Every structure is written in C-alpha cells, then in structure tokens.
Homo-oligomer: A and B are copies of this chain.
Amino acid sequence: MKVSQRGLYALKALLHLAGRWEEGIVATREIAEREEIPEKFLESILVVLKNARVVESRRGREGGHRLRRPPAEIVVGDVVRLLDGPLAPFGDATELTRLVASEPRHAGLFDLFLDVRNAAAAILDHTTLADLLERDRKILVARRRRGGVPET
C-alpha cells in the first residue's frame, strides 16, 4: 500500500473540514490556502470525495464543501482505498485470498502479504477523522510539555 501526494491532500482536506465541522461549508480556496494544496488539484480531489459521498458540496456564491457525516464516522481506511486503492502490498484482499488457496507455489508469500494488509486494515479501518484530531491535540500537548517553543 502506498499513499500518494493526492491521497495525503485528500486526508488533509478532510481533516481541515473535520476541524471546522460546526462551521458548515468551507470553500476550496480556503482549504487550499490554509493547507498549502494547489487549488485546482484540490478541486479535482474534492470531486472524487463528493462522488464517493464522503463530502457534500454547494455551488455558486457562498458555496463550498462539508463532510456528509460527522468526523467520528469517517474512516481513514476508506479514504485511502478511495484515493490510492487497496491496502494490500500486492493486489487486493480477494486476489490474495484466491492465490493462497490456489497457487501451487509461494502460497505462503501471498499469505504473508495478506497478514500485512490485515494489519494495515486493522489500524486504518478503526481510525476516524475524529480520532486523528484528538491525536493531533495530544501530540501538541506532549510536545509543549517537553520544552515546547512558545515564542518569547
């Protein structure tokens, strides 16, 4: 499994929307500027996210995007799969299962790959956007305690 720049942008954008969940609709430009994502590129990503019903959009003036569900109900694994394909290091879970069951050679190898994909899925499929926001917060607090650098 590999997370592309595009996938990373998608996650950052969603985290941005999650952080401002109460505010409602946010425009592409604003996300792009704050998260340092090329605006036109982000546009195309948001369309994908919209078609997958992760996000909903409003056009025209005062338009923009917002999460379709609360941050605690959006799973990181789904977003990664949507943008960057299956979590398995080779092929996908179904293909690997088939190979383990039918390949005369190297079934063990595919079985190993299946273990890796299951380990990744176990982590990514039970982490939500809300979890990540919480995690951000905790890391920041810990960093501050460890001799953070509050300016002056």
Contact = CB atoms under 8 A, between A and B. Distances in A.
Interface residues of A, number: 41
Given A1-B1, A123-B115, A35 B108 contact: no
Contacts of A135: 107-109, 111-112
A111 B89 contact: no
A32 interface: no
Interface of A: 1-3, 8, 11-12, 15, 35, 76, 80, 89-90, 100-101, 105-109, 111-113, 115-116, 119-120, 122-124, 127, 131-140, 143
25 contacts: A1-B1, A1-B116, A2-B2, A2-B89, A2-B90, A3-B89, A11-B106, A11-B109, A15-B109, A100-B139, A106-B132, A107-B136, A107-B140, A107-B143, A108-B131, A108-B132, A108-B138, A109-B136, A111-B135, A112-B127, A112-B135, A116-B119, A116-B120, A119-B120, A119-B123
